[in-house]
């Protein structure tokens, strides 16, 4: 796993599910089912240290994990995050 913090171009379905990604001038098509990874909601973080017996901590979509395959057959698993304010995507991690 390599941690990265690079801007990437991501195309999605109307529902927001990634379908392709361009990273370092190479286009990768999503070649498996993308998985949502969740993180604790920002408004909940001040309460994060407290443990409650009932329910779960509120979570929001932190990003997506999916396998992408180039036209040359090169494949990686990518973790990407969308920044709604900046209207951009960031590549967070790559698994070879």
The answer to whether residue 51 is domain-embedded is: no
Q: Is residue 47 part of a domain?
A: no
Q: Residues near 57 by Cβ (< 8 Å), separated by ≥ 6?
A: 40, 41, 44, 48
DSSP state of 47: G
Calpha distance 54→29 (Å, rounded): 41
Residue 86's domain spans which residues? Answer: 2-36+63-95
CB 89 within 8 A of CB 83: yes
pTM summary value: 0.77
Whole-angstrom Cα Rg for the chain? 15
pLDDT at 83: 87
Q: With a cut of 70, say whether residue 29 has pLDDT above it.
A: yes
Mean residue pLDDT across the chain? 85
pLDDT of residue 61: 66
CA 12/CA 64 separation, integer angstroms: 11
Query: How many domains does one find in the chain?
Result: 1
């Amino acid at each position: 796993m390599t941690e990265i913090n690079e801007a990437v171009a991501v195309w999605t379905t109307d529902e927001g599910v990634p379908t392709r990604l361009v990273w370092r001038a190479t286009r990768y098509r999503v070649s498996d089912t993308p998985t949502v990874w969740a993180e604790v909601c920002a408004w909940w973080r001040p309460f994060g240290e407290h443990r409650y017996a009932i329910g779960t901590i509120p979570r929001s979509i932190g990003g997506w994990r999916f396998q992408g395959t180039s036209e040359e057959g090169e494949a990686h698993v990518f973790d990407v995050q969308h920044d709604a304010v900046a209207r951009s995507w960031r590549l967070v991690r790559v698994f070879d």
